[in-house]
Structures are given as C-alpha cells and as structure tokens.
C-alpha cells in the first residue's frame, strides 16, 4: 500500500476534521480500482460518516429530509451501522424516541431488513439487561420497543410477552419497567387486546394493595391509574407529523421473546465484498424505486470521477460539523460521564441560555401529556440553579404565547409546576407581576395567550390570588394594554368556571383583600370606572356587588353633605348615622368625616366616642396587617404600635390568623411580626398562641386537614421565632402520633419541614425517636402511598437541610435574643 493511500485511509477512519480541499487533492493523487479492498474501505468510512451525520440531525421538522439523505446511502450494506447509530442516539435522547421510531418505520417499509435487524438487537439487549437488572439502559430499550409497536414495526405479542416476563418476578425495577411500557403504548395495547390489558391492570392493583414494592413504585402505579382514563379519552393516535407510512405499506415483524435471535454484530465492521460492484448496482435499483430515477447513483459518484461518496461527504463537512455539534448538545445531556466532565466548566453565556430555551421548547413539543412534559422539564439541567423555577416558568409562558391560539396543555403544565413547593409558587407570582407590568410590550395575539394562561391558573386555584393585588383598575393606574390583559384573564376564567361560580369565587372572604384594586369598595370614582369596564367587556354580572356599594356610598355622601350643612342642628339621630358610617366598612373622605365629627359633640368617656375609636382601631389594624411583607415589615410594625394594641389585641390576633390562613406562604412574615410585637406587648403573643391551641384541638377532632395544616405551620414558625417553647410543638407531634392516619402523618411532616431543624438542635434524642417512628410507619405500610412518599422525601432532603441551614431569614430576624419573650404552654392545659 502506498504512503499516500495509507495516509488517506488513516484520515478517513480517524474521525478528525479534514479540510475538503486538502482531501480532494490527496484523493486525486491516489488511483484505486473499484473492486479493491482499499476502495471499499474508503466507501465504508464514507457510509459510516453519512449515516452518523444524518441520524444525529434528525428531528420532527427535518424527518422527511433525513430519510431522503439516508436512502441515498447503501442501507443494505450499512444496516448494521444504521441500527447501531439509531440505538445509541435513542439511548442518549429518550425524549426523541418517537422520532427514531418513525424513522425506523419509514425505512422498514422499503428495506425491511433494517427493521428486522434492529428489533432482533433490541430483544437481545433487553434479555441481557434484564438479567443484570440495569435499570437505566433497560428503560430506554423498553421505551423504544413500545414506540416501535405504536408505529407497527413489531407485533403486540412481543410487547405482551415482555410485560409477562417482567411480572414473573415482581421487584421495584420490574414494576418501573412495566409502568414505562404502559405509559408509552398502554392505550394501543388496550385497543388491541382489552381482556389481556385488564388482567395486567388487575395484577398491578394487587401489587399496590399487597404493599410488596417500595413507596416510589406504589406511587408510580397509583399515578398511572389516576391518569390512564383521561389519556384514553383524549388519545388521538400518534403524532400526525411522524405518522408518515400508509397502513398498506407498513411491514410488521412477528417476533416472540422465546425465540433465540442473534444481533449479527459482524454487520457493524468492514468486510471485503468480492461482488461489490454487482451488489451496489442492485441497491441502485432499489434506491431508484424509492426515490425516483432522477436521484444520483453510486456510479455518478465514483472516485475516478472526483465526486465519490466520501468526497461529497467532506464538501459539506463544515456545515455538518456544526449540525453534529448542535445535536451533541441535545443527545449527550443524559450521558452520565459527559455530565461529570461538564460540571467543572459552567458556561453562563447567552449560548447556554439559548440551548436551555430550545430544550424546554423541544421537551414541551415532544411530550404526549402535561404530566410527561412536567416530569421531563424538571429533569432539565438548570442554567442558573438559583433561578431555575423562574426561568422554566418564564419559558413555558413564552412557549404558550407563541401558539396561534391558546392551548390548555400549557395551563395544565403550569398547574403541575405551581403545586410542587413554595419556591415554584413564588416564581409564578413574580412572573404574573412582571407580565402585567410589561404587557405594553406584547402584541395583542401574544397578550391573548398569556392572559388566557393566567386566567386558567387562577380558575384552577393553583396559584394564590394575592398576586392580583398588583392590579389597580383605575383610569390613571392602567394602560390600554393592561386593560386588554385583564380582559383576557377574566374571559378565560368565565370560560372555565362560568359567571356564577366566578362570582362566588371573587366573593370569598379570603380573596377580597387581594382584588380590592379590581373590585373597589370604598371610592365612588374607582367603583364607577370598574363597573363601566366590566360591563364593557361583557361581564356585567360581576359588578352587582359594586353597584350596590356605589348606591350605598352615594346615599352616604348625600347624608354627610346634609349633616355638614345642618351643622349645629345635628341631633341624636345624626350621631347614630355617623356611627353607622364609621362601622359600615365603606369609604368616607377624611376631610368630610373630620368636618362631620367636629359638628358632633361627644364626651371622651361616652359609649358613642369609644365605638368610633374602636371602629378606627379595627380599620387601622386590618389595613396594616393586610399590607405586610418582607420589605415593609419594619414600617408596618411602626404603624401598628401607633394604635392601642393592648385594647385591640383580640382584633390583631384575629386579623393575623385570618391573613396567615389565606396566605400560608407568608407565614414566616406573620411569625416575625408577632415576635416583634410580643417582645414589647407579650399579651398579644399570649392571646395568639392560646387561640391557635384551641383552634388546633378543634380541627384535629374534626380532621379538617387544610385549616389544621395552616395552624401547625403557624405554630412551627412561632417556635422558630422563639414565641413558643419546644415542649408545646413536641406535644403536638406526640398527639398526632397517638392515632396514625394519612391526615396526621401529613401534619407531622408539615411540622418537621418547617421547624424540624430547630427541634433537632433543641432535643436531638426526642427528634431521633420520632424519626424512628416515621421509619416504622414507612416500613409497615400502614398509610397510603402519598403519605409514604412524603415521609421518604422528608428523609431524603433532611440531611441536606441540616448541612445548609443558616437559621431564619435575616430580614425577618429583627428581635435581639435578650428581648425575646417565649410563652410556655402545654397541650394539656385547658
């Protein structure tokens, strides 16, 4: 072999980039016979590169183009390379499995040898991985086989036998594999053989009821049953953009798991073909039959004509290299070894952000259900871990905005994300405020989808209505874009809830403080504007209460004017009217009120004077507590101390408890507020704790989970701020352990989450005893899978929390240790 030929073969098989001009120059200097081994090696290397390049680029949008590219190559000769490349790519990017399955189904319809070889290799691989219990790789294999069944490349009998095989020896690993298959092709199996499917569903129910697998597997089974009925109802078949083979052209391979099939690994390596020219001509005939007679054949691309397959491959090398790099970013994100390397170098450039946004979009587009999309989105690596929730929610909203019409699919994804934990809920609240403040930047079409998304979120009640407090519906405080945005939000809520239910929702007491800007109650001008606005957008039914308030205010305004004009003629009836004004909850202009009060002479010790003072105190306390947050906490404390809190401690405790119940995400803020007031006026803290204890005892008797949760969370935070002693919290947990139930276990976990670290630091021995009790509950399977999952999750996260705990938020820790006053209560006290 000549030196130049040796160098050329090394370059071709080495995988390194070679400039096309240099390669053509080197090839022109080498003379090869068509049937020579060296010529066939060069053709083989070119075939390998072409197949790898095409498979690495495939996605939904370019699938048809890639199929044409692949058919231009000798896929009969390279079927081993093709199957190897597809299996590797699918394992690294399981979210694209449906795309690879569609690609295989198209090629299989023309060259069934490819489909036959791929299925045999997958069967061999499945048997090997099942013996070794290699979960991750086995999962990718069963997902691929499931999708191939959906695309009619394999028969249902093979999939059924795989599930039967997995049921032979129940384990957590095998149950996860069964659920994975059911998720991907359960509906197709159900349609093909309903009786067999029902039998397997009953087996899964038995596994769930007998508690023979761990909580995670039980949770997966329960989740599958919860979602399956909805999937069956809404299933429309496989994606139309991937269903490219006519039914009469489909070729289905009938394999069974008991067959002793071989993977023909020898097809992956080069082998000299003495009949190379004849075999190539045979494939050219097949290729013309598939692509048409105008497609170039191998004879048009020979080496001696300076346009061979491997030469043309390198002509576009630079473009392909970039494409392959882009696809590597997609394919290797799941590769554990690759992840280990990239941890050390973190690129925070716009390129990584763009890649993240692309991955989010592709994940959403490629998922079959909102649950699947949510699961995959949570697994995506974060560009900035501190802002992961915000960035992901922001991208979901942007994807929703780009749709031609609003799709409820995005709203359901939003629901799933919003209920994960507090940080996700806060991300939604922050983005709503940002969307509203920036709505003037969006076109109407985008604004419609964004508004509909938020309307769905409020209608589903998965995010707190407190974020609506950012809106003040007046002519001065809104723009035309803002009013359009509000219209789309309420239109979606009406579509999903109906006028009657929406009216009931906005009339609920806990929502009232947050929608005062939208539905004012105490300013005639604002009331008129809001009434006119909602009437103009076709929602006049929502304005009934505002119209009533406006009428009352108009009458009261006339009354005030009359009283002011009459001056000294005011009598006892005028005083009673004034008291009615003060206690009615409606807005009275301060100037008019002062003028009116100046006309009414009252003794300071009179009952009437004290009633007026009491009503003013109530309004001041309610106004201050409803406004409190981290940023204005110090200001609110000063405002409150200007009032007589000893006299109004009952009002203050009532208002704080009500506000905390409605906004549990602000519990730490309310606890901090109480600790500050308690350090100066301990009677307030004493009364609040006594009321919480009474309320806890009442709710625990009634098993009222939601309200009880807010009470134990509040008590936990008060313990963190040293308002109450540890003994009371320990007794509450002991009380909950007396009679184990799902409801009580959830309460215990809620307390542990909020003050478990503080309890651990105060009394480690007691804490360890309770942790052991929780482990016993988990091991004995005496609560439902959800409660078991909560216990397991707590143990998984607690060690990390202990390591990283830095105490309560510095912005809320405003009382010096020597000023703290702790109330020593026990649960046994009456």
Exposure string over 341-370, b if 16+ CB within 10 A, otherwise e: eeeeeeeeeeeeeebbbebbebbbebbebb
Q: Confidence band (pLDDT; 50, 70, 90) for 306?
A: very low
Residue 550's nearest CA partner among 518, 580, 520, 579 is 520
Choose between 219 and 596: higher pLDDT: 219
In this structure, of 255-269, 597-611, 750-764, 816-830, the range with the lowest mean pLDDT score is: 597-611
CA distance 729 to 692: 12
Beta bridge partners of 724: 823
Q: Confidence band (pLDDT; 50, 70, 90) for 604?
A: low
CA distance 307 to 300: 7
In this structure, of 240-244, 291-295, 373-377, 797-801, the range with the lowest mean pLDDT score is: 291-295
- The pLDDT score that the predictor gives to residue 298 is 42
Q: Read off the tokens for 724.
A: 């109450």
CA distance 484 to 398: 18
Overall residue count recorded for the chain in this entry: 830
Is 154 strand, coil or helix?
A: strand
CA distance 624 to 640: 7
CA distance 205 to 225: 9
Q: Sign (positive/negative) of CA torsion 525, 529, 535, 541? A: negative
What global pTM score does this model have? 0.41
CA distance 396 to 678: 44
Write the pLDDT tens digit of every residue in 652-697: 999 999 888 877 888 999 999 999 999 999 999 999 999 999 999 8
CA distance 73 to 82: 10
CA distance 446 to 397: 10
CA distance 582 to 563: 14
- The pLDDT score that the predictor gives to residue 309 is 41
Exposure string over 555-586, b if 16+ CB within 10 A, otherwise e: ebeebbeebeeeeeebeeebbebbbebbeeeb
- The pLDDT score that the predictor gives to residue 322 is 44
Choose between 792 and 684: higher pLDDT: 684
**Highest mean pLDDT, choosing among 327-341, 345-359, 402-416:** 402-416
Q: Read off the tokens for 115.
A: 């489909």
- To the question of domain 626-819 being in CATH 1.10.10.10, the answer is no
Would the pLDDT of 161 be above 70?
yes
Q: How far from chain centre, in Å, is Cα 438? A: 23
CA distance 659 to 514: 11
CA distance 157 to 255: 8
In this structure, of 96-105, 339-348, 439-448, the range with the lowest mean pLDDT score is: 339-348
CA distance 392 to 357: 8
Helix extents (H) in 367-443:
370-379, 388-402, 408-418, 422-437
Q: Which CATH class is domain 350-518?
A: mainly alpha
Write the pLDDT tens digit of every residue in 78-119: 999 999 999 999 988 888 999 999 999 999 999 999 999 999
**C-alpha dihedral, 656 to 659 to 662 to 666, nearest 10°:** -80
Rg of the chain, C-alpha, whole Å: 35
Helical pair 785-804 and 742-762, crossing angle rounded to 10 deg: 20
**Which residues have a Cβ under 8 Å from the Cβ of 786 and sit 6 or more positions away?**
219, 222, 742
CA distance 554 to 551: 5
Write the pLDDT tens digit of every residue in 695-726: 998 888 877 777 888 899 999 999 999 999 99
- Output phi, psi for 253, to 5 deg: -95, 125
In this structure, of 19-23, 306-310, 366-370, 641-645, the range with the lowest mean pLDDT score is: 306-310
- The pLDDT score that the predictor gives to residue 303 is 37
Domain with CATH 1.25.40.180 in the chain: 36-279, 626-819
How much is the mean pLDDT over the chain?
A: 82
Which CATH architecture describes the domain 36-279? Alpha Horseshoe (1.25)
- If one counts every other C-beta atom within 10 angstroms of the C-beta of residue 524, the result is 17
Strand boundaries in 414-492, DSSP class E: none
Q: Read off the tokens for 439.
A: 């709505």
CA distances from 35 to 46, 80, 272, 589, 695 (A): 16, 22, 9, 101, 91
Q: What's the average model confidence in pLDDT over 568-572?
A: 44
CA distance 467 to 665: 12
Q: What's the average model confidence in pLDDT over 425-437?
A: 91
| Cβ–Cβ under 8 Å, residues 159 and 146 | yes
| Cβ–Cβ under 8 Å, residues 755 and 729 | yes
Q: Confidence band (pLDDT; 50, 70, 90) for 570?
A: very low
Q: Confidence band (pLDDT; 50, 70, 90) for 613?
A: confident
The HSE-up count of residue 522 (CA atoms within 13 Å, CB side) is: 16
Is 320 strand, coil or helix?
A: helix
Q: What's the average model confidence in pLDDT over 395-403?
A: 92
CA distance 93 to 87: 10
- The pLDDT score that the predictor gives to residue 299 is 37
Instruction: Please spell the DSSP secondary structure of 342-367, one letter per residue.
Output: HTT----SHHHHHHHHHHHHHHHHH-
CA distance 416 to 430: 17
């Amino acid at each position: 072999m000549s030196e130049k030929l040796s160098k050329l073969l090394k370059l071709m098989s080495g995988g390194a980039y070679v400039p096309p001009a240099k390669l053509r120059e080197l090839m022109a200097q080498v003379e090869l016979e068509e049937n020579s081994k060296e010529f066939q090696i060069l053709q083989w290397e070119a075939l390998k590169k072409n197949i790898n390049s095409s498979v690495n680029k495939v996605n939904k949008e370019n699938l048809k183009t890639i199929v044409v590219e692949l058919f231009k190559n000798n896929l009969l000769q390279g079927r081993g390379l093709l199957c190897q490349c597809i299996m590797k790519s699918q394992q690294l990017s399981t979210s694209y499995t449906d795309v690879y399955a569609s690609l295989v189904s198209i090629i299989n319809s023309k060259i069934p040898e490819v489909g036959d070889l791929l299925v045999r290799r997958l069967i061999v691989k499945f048997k090997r991985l099942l013996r070794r219990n290699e979960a991750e790789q086995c999962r990718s294999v069963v997902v691929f086989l499931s999708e191939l069944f959906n695309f009619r490349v394999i028969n249902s009998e093979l999939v059924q036998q795989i599930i039967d095989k997995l049921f032979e020896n129940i384990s957590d690993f095998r149950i996860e594999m069964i659920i994975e298959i059911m998720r991907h092709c359960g509906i197709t199996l159900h349609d093909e053989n309903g009786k067999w499917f029902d039998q397997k569903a009953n087996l899964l129910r038995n596994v769930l009821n007998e508690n023979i697998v761990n909580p995670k597997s039980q949770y997966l089974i329960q989740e599958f049953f919860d979602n399956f009925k909805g999937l069956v109802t809404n299933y429309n078949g496989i994606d139309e953009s991937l269903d490219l083979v006519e039914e009469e052209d489909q070729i289905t391979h009938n394999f069974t798991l008991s067959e002793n099939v071989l993977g023909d690994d020898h097809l992956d390596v080069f082998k000299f073909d003495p009949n190379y020219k004849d075999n190539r001509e045979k494939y050219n005939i097949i290729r013309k039959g598939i692509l048409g007679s105008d497609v170039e054949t191998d004879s048009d691309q020979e080496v001696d004509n300076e346009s061979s397959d491997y030469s043309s491959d390198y002509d576009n090398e630079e473009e392909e290299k970039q494409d392959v790099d882009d696809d590597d970013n997609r394919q290797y994100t799941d590769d554990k070894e690759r992840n280990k390397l990239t941890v050390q170098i973190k690129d925070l450039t716009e390129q990584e952000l763009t890649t993240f946004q692309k991955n989010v979009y592709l994940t959403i587009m490629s998922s079959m259900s909102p649950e699947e999309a949510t699961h995959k989105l949570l697994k995506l690596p974060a560009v900035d871990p501190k802002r992961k929730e915000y960035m992901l929610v922001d991208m979901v909203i942007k994807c929703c905005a780009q749709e031609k019409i609003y799709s409820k699919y995005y709203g359901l994804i939003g629901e799933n994300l919003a209920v994960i934990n507090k940080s996700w809920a806060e991300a939604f609240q922050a983005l709503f405020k940002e969307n509203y403040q920036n709505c003037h930047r969006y076109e109407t079409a985008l604004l419609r989808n964004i508004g509909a998304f938020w309307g769905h979120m409020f209608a589903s009640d998965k995010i707190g209505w407190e974020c609506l407090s950012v809106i003040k519906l007046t002519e001065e405080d809104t723009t035309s874009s803002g009013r359009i945005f509000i219209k789309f939000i309420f239109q979606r809520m009406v579509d999903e809830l109906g006028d009657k239910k929406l009216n009931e929702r906005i009339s609920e007491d806990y929502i009232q403080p947050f929608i005062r800007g939208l539905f004012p109650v105490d300013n005639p001008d604002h009331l008129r504007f809001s009434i006119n606005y909602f009437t103009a957008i076709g929602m006049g039914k929502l304005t009934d209460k505002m119209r009533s308030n406006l009428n009352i205010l108009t009458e009261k305004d006339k009354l005030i004017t009359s009283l002011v004009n009459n001056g000294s003629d005011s009598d006892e009836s005028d005083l009673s009217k004034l008291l009615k004004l003060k206690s009615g909850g409606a807005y009275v202009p301060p100037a008019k009120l002062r003028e009116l009060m100046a006309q009414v002479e009252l003794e300071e010790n009179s009952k009437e004077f004290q009633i007026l003072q009491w009503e003013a105190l109530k309004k001041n306390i309610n106004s201050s507590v409803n406004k409190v947050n981290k940023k204005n906490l110090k200001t609110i404390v000063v405002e409150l101390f200007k009032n007589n809190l000893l006299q109004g401690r009952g009002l203050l405790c009532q208002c704080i408890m009500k506000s905390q119940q409605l906004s549990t995400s602000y519990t730490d803020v309310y606890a901090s507020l109480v600790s500050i007031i308690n350090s100066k006026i301990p009677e307030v803290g004493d009364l609040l704790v006594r009321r919480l204890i009474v309320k806890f005892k009442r709710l625990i008797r009634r098993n009222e989970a939601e309200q009880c949760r807010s009470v134990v969370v509040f008590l936990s935070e008060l313990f963190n701020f040293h308002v109450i002693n540890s003994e009371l919290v320990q007794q509450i947990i002991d009380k909950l352990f007396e009679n184990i139930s799902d409801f009580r276990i959830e309460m215990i976990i809620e307390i542990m989450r909020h003050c478990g670290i503080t309890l651990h630091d105060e009394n480690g021995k007691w804490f360890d005893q309770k942790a052991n009790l929780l482990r016993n509950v988990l091991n004995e399977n005496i609560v439902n899978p959800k409660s078991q999952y909560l216990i397991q999750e707590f143990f998984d996260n607690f060690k990390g929390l202990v390591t990283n705990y830095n105490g309560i938020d510095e912005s809320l820790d405003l009382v010096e240790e020597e000023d703290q006053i702790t109330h020593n209560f026990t649960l046994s006290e009456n």
